[in-house]
């Protein structure tokens, strides 16, 4: 790092936790976060976001949601809008996480509309992109990521990326214990920044690009040391206070 971009470590709790577990985890983190220079974010299940936003007000941690509806309001049973998230103090929202793309059939067009919906209400979208193992093995990585980015660029333009975060998460590394090597991560992060720079070099230089995929205390340091890796999006390891703090501690500019 060392480039003016403040590192960000985001935990993705997925569908884990309970009020009691969340409280214990957050209090354990808050008690020891003063030694961490990175910005820290936890992305919680919808039902807990409001309570967590209240607890985290005035701290160096922020709360995010894990998805949102692309539509602003209306007959969309079971959905949660950007305005609702903004209303309860949510700051960030994951958009296009690979589990949303694969299990809930969110295609590039829908992900792009969610990005626009989030950003139009002042939420910071964390746009997740990444290739599957088959796509990597058939040398499609850059083409897949270019398409994922281009769908959002076509819908939103480059300007909103000044207030957005991108997360590179190779699908084969999420929850598998397999991690991209620092060189593999850097190669794709540089590609993402370079692709955005074709539209606006200043915006591209400022956008934070997180790496996600089996980040742990033991590998975070070498990943975060790469020039274009500005922190991490952390699933499993974000549920353990000690491990998550260890990851946060090595994210510094």
Positions in the binding site for ligand PEP (CB under 6 A): 12, 14, 169, 174-175, 212-215, 233-237
Query: Between residues 152 and 203, which has the closer beta carbon with respect to ligand PEP?
Result: 152
Query: Between residues 100 and 193, which has the closer beta carbon with respect to ligand PEP?
Result: 100
Report the C-alpha gap between 217 and 245 in whole angstroms.
8
Query: Between residues 12 and 148, which has the closer beta carbon with respect to ligand PEP?
Result: 12
Nearest distance, CB of residue 198 and ligand PEP, angstroms: 27
Query: Between residues 63 and 174, which has the closer beta carbon with respect to ligand PEP?
Result: 174
Nearest distance, CB of residue 43 and ligand PEP, angstroms: 9
DSSP lists the bridge partners of residue 12 as 43
Catalytic residue chosen out of the listed positions 39, 97, 106, 243: 97
CB atoms within 10 A of CB 199: 14
Nearest distance, CB of residue 36 and ligand PEP, angstroms: 18
Catalytic residue chosen out of the listed positions 39, 99, 135, 169: 169
Is 21 one of the annotated active-site residues of the chain? no
Query: Between residues 203 and 251, which has the closer beta carbon with respect to ligand PEP?
Result: 251
Nearest distance, CB of residue 179 and ligand PEP, angstroms: 8
Nearest distance, CB of residue 40 and ligand PEP, angstroms: 15
With the CA atoms of 195, 196, 197 and 199 taken in that order, what torsion angle do they form, in degrees rounded to the nearest 10?
110
Is 169 one of the annotated active-site residues of the chain? yes
Tell me the residue nearest to ligand PEP as measured from the CB: 235
Active site residues per annotation: 97, 169
């Amino acid at each position: 790092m060392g480039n003016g971009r403040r590192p960000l470590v985001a935990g993705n709790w997925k569908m884990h936790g309970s009020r009691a577990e969340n409280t214990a985890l957050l209090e354990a983190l808050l008690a020891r976060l003063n030694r961490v220079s990175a910005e820290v974010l936890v992305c919680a299940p919808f039902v807990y976001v409001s309570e967590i936003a209240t607890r985290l007000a005035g701290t160096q941690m922020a709360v995010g949601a894990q998805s949102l509806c692309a539509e602003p309001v209306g007959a969309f049973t079971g959905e949660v809008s950007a305005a609702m998230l903004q209303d309860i103090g949510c700051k960030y929202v994951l958009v296009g996480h690979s589990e949303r793309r694969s299990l809930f059939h969110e295609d590039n067009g829908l992900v792009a509309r969610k990005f626009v919906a989030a950003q139009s209400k002042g939420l910071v979208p964390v746009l997740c992109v990444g290739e599957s193992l088959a796509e990597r093995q058939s040398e499609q990585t850059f083409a897949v990521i270019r398409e994922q980015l281009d769908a959002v660029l076509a819908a939103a333009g480059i300007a909103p990326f000044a207030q957005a975060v991108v997360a590179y998460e190779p699908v084969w590394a999420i929850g598998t214990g397999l991690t991209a090597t620092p060189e593999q991560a850097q190669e794709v992060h540089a590609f993402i920044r370079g692709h955005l720079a074709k539209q606006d070099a200043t915006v591209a230089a400022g956008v934070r690009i997180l790496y996600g995929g089996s980040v742990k205390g033991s590998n975070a340091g070498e990943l975060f040391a790469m020039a274009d890796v500005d922190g991490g999006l952390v699933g499993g390891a974000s549920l353990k206070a000690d491990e998550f703090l260890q990851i946060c501690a090595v994210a510094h500019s």
